[in-house]
Structure 1
């Protein structure tokens, strides 16, 4: 089964109900939300989410496990200076996810800033292990990054090392097509890319895909999303992810830019579901 959706709004007064209604209007069967502003710690109490109303109206249309939650950008689990804040915030965020029985948390692994990359990787591993000890159920999906600035988790060697060191079935991978392309991996040569992923034994870790075109050529480390078919990756290459049997039942989420302040997701979902490959 193809699971295809997008980032949708999660805000008062409708919260979860409004997010799922927006997704269904886009003809999506999965969704991604932030539980509050991506650049802020502000969160409302889970009792405000209208979870029971969602269950009564829409749980048979978009399941709890297909409502993906993205962590805010302000946490940095790779920076020792931000350890206490980042760990404590994510523990509470996972508890909020438990309230709605959401399964996957997408997390940017962070940046090393003034530290070395090795110090950052060690810090990330220790911090994730601590979060796992103090939470339950939710699977943390570390997102592949483009490599702008001092970001980590941008090459497959480091990704494999980090996943192996954590060694926990509650830690997985979110593959972002724009990021992996900008990091220097040629996903337009799809069969070769899939072979590389399999050679690294990473296919089994991919639990969510962010499907985005890129405004930049491969390897530029820019991280600027383009609309589907409007960038350097192209529609036909992105469709291959959608129709790949290895990614059946894996939520595929669009994060492409709004066009003239309007959501493009209904049109882009229709474009991707046109099965002319």
Structure 2
């Protein structure tokens, strides 16, 4: 069975209960939340999360390990000046995840700012290793990026370097289809072929397939290689429904949580209909 859901709001007063209820209404069996505002590190006490009520009512419907947590966008472990705060925050975030039973923390790798790439990758890897050493039971999942500005993670090669430096079973990759497309990976025409240059073959050759733990499924408003990172609704962008459906249903991605992050349409959630589209219903 396809494991598919979407980004869902997580807010007062009912937190997990409302998030799970909305996901169930969308016919989802997984979901992704931020434990607070995506652009802020402000957090409420986890006693307000309604964890016990979730465990009693909904744990069998959407399991704790299928609740994906996304770190705030403003966290930059690659920044030499602010990484101490970022580490402390993520350690605290993971401890909140432990209370829920969530297993995957999706993280934007950050930006190198005025630092050279080699130093930045070393610095970033060290910070992630420090976080892993001070936490348990949660894996940090590095997201593929579109390549805006000085973003880290715009290529599979950069993520491979980071993963090798960190050298942990608790490090993985989140493949974002919009980011991959905008970053120059043609997952529409060269997703899988016999030419040895397709996307799946690249993952295999780099020994990265086993590290794929989460997928963000988004269409793109821009042409291949634009480096702009603008999500489109499923089937409404340059990637298209057929390619996205093939991606989501590929046998090598079986049982990997697939999360939709597409825009609302006239202030209404598109996720129930888009989940149907991907399932082919």
Match of 1:234 in 2: 240
Check if 1:62 corresponds to 2:62: yes
Between the aligned partners of 1:14 and 1:4, the Cα distance in structure 2 is: 23
- Residue in structure 2 matching 1:203, options 193, 203, 209: 209
1:219 counterpart = 2:193: no
Asked if the contact 2:14–2:49 (Cα under 8 Å) also holds between the matched residues in 1, the reply is yes
Find the aligned partners of 2:159 and 2:91 in 1 and give their Cα distance.
23
- How far apart in 2 are the matches of 1:6 and 1:170? 23
The C-alpha deviation readout for 1:44-91, integer Å capped at 9, x for no partner, is: 111110011111111111000000000001110111111111000000
Distance 2:276 2:138 in 1: 30
CA offset digits 1:147-201 (Å, max 9, x no partner):
0010011112111111111110000000100001111111012102111111111
Name structure 1 gaps, 5 residues minimum: none
User: What is the Cα-based RMSD across aligned positions, in Å?
Assistant: 0.8
How far 1:94 moved relative to its partner?
0.3
Match of 2:259 among 253, 259, 269: 253
**Following superposition of structure 1 onto structure 2, how do residues 1-277 of structure 1 map, counting pairs within 5 Å?**
1-188=1-188, 189-191=190-192, 192-274=198-280
Greater than 4 Å deviation, 4+ residue runs: none
SS of equivalent residue, structure 1 residue 5? strand
Contact conserved, 2:68 with 2:103, CA < 8 A, in 1? Answer: yes
Work out the CA distance in 2 between the residues paired with 1:247 and 1:157. 20
Shift of 1:103: 0.5
**Whole-angstrom distance in 1 between the partners of 2:122 and 2:82:** 14
Aligned mates of 1:78, 1:156 — CA distance in 2: 17
Q: Name the CA distance, whole Å, in 2 between partners of 1:45 and 1:259.
A: 32
* Unpaired segments ≥5 residues, structure 2: 193-197
Determine helix, strand or coil for the equivalent of 1:257: coil
Tell me, in whole angstroms, the C-alpha distance in 1 between the residues paired with 2:117 and 2:204.
25
**SS at 2:81 equivalent:** helix
What TM-score do you get using the length of structure 1 for normalisation?
Answer: 0.98
